[in-house]
Amino acid sequence: MLINIVFFCIYNVEFKIMPDKEKNNKFYRISIWAFVILVLAVSLFWILNASKSATDDKIYSPVNDIARNDGAFKYPSPMESDPGWGEALFPWHIVDGIRLRGNYWAYGLAFTGGREGYEDSCGWRQATIDFGEPREFNRVVIWHAGDHVGIPVYYLRCWNDRLKDWDTLLCRTDMSSRTTEFKAKKLQSIPVEDTFSTVISRKIQYLFNNCNADHGWINEFEVYHDAKGDRPECLEVKNGAKGK
Ligand SMILES: [Ca+2]
């Protein structure tokens, strides 16, 4: 619009009274300046939007996510999780604090099996976070790669060090219906949130069965300890998960 106005003014004020050669030179100069202005405007728009995206907190896990590990520490560790499949076989990606795959196809932890029997028959699969020491927690948010939120049944379990076995925190069979709103938006990464009574444990495990489902693919595994009366509600409401 601005460029059009500039062209119009110059043409009407000066252009009509110039000789042909001077007109051509003027036209080329204006064209070059218009092109430069256009490039600068597009670049500025791109930079501003890139900057806005880079600072968008929704892309990253918050600092109170106790499972988050930027690679500087041995724990929390995701290495007890089942092996990944295909190109998305990186357990550390599920605790790196990045919720979205972005432009990287080979991102997150994808599991074997599933409806198509990738590399293995379908069945029970798990992702485990080992904190390295007992931690208090009462909420989990798992960010699933786009269309991998149709898992028919899953458990959240915590490690019981005294019994040397897993305690079941909850079992859910409604992941698909709870994520309808997110699926309709065709989001790259879809959160599934669960709340439960506060426990103290060294490990948390997401155990699921991928028969009659996509194979399962996690972008991020977040764990929180919300203080009483200080629980964020946005995801909880959207997912319809009231917890215990
Ligand atoms: Ca991640």
Q: Cα(205) to centroid of ligand 1, in Å?
A: 16
* Local confidence band at 11 (pLDDT 50, 70, 90 cut-offs): low
79: left (phi over 0), alpha (psi -120 to 50) or beta: alpha
Q: Write the pLDDT tens digit of every residue in 145-159.
A: 988 999 999 999 999
More confident residue, 34 or 148: 148
Say what the pLDDT of residue 117 is: 95
Q: Write the pLDDT tens digit of every residue in 53-65.
A: 333 447 899 999 9
Average pLDDT, integer, range 47-51: 48
Q: What is the CA radius of gyration of the chain?
A: 26
Q: Cα(231) to centroid of ligand 1, in Å?
A: 22
Distance between CA atoms of residues 175 and 179, nearest Å: 6
Q: Cα(68) to centroid of ligand 1, in Å?
A: 9
Q: Is 60 exceeded by the pLDDT of residue 48? A: no
Say what the pLDDT of residue 159 is: 98
Q: What is the pTM of this model?
A: 0.74
Average pLDDT, integer, range 187-206: 95
Q: Cα(220) to centroid of ligand 1, in Å?
A: 4
Domain ranges of the chain: 2-54, 59-239
Say what the pLDDT of residue 51 is: 41
Say what the pLDDT of residue 43 is: 61
Say what the pLDDT of residue 55 is: 35
Average pLDDT, integer, range 205-218: 97
Look at domain 59-239 and name its CATH class. Answer: mainly beta
Q: Cα(97) to centroid of ligand 1, in Å?
A: 5
Q: Cα(221) to centroid of ligand 1, in Å?
A: 7
Distance between CA atoms of residues 176 and 98, nearest Å: 23
Q: Is 60 exceeded by the pLDDT of residue 236? A: no
Spell out where 39-111 has E strands: 84-89, 109-111
Q: Cα(169) to centroid of ligand 1, in Å?
A: 23
More confident residue, 220 or 26: 220
* Local confidence band at 230 (pLDDT 50, 70, 90 cut-offs): confident
Handedness of CA 13, 18, 21, 22 (dihedral sign): negative
Q: Write the pLDDT tens digit of every residue in 112-163.
A: 999 999 999 999 999 999 999 999 999 999 999 988 999 999 999 999 999 9
Q: Cα(101) to centroid of ligand 1, in Å?
A: 7
Q: Cα(156) to centroid of ligand 1, in Å?
A: 19
Q: Cα(145) to centroid of ligand 1, in Å?
A: 10
Q: Cα(157) to centroid of ligand 1, in Å?
A: 21
* Local confidence band at 16 (pLDDT 50, 70, 90 cut-offs): low
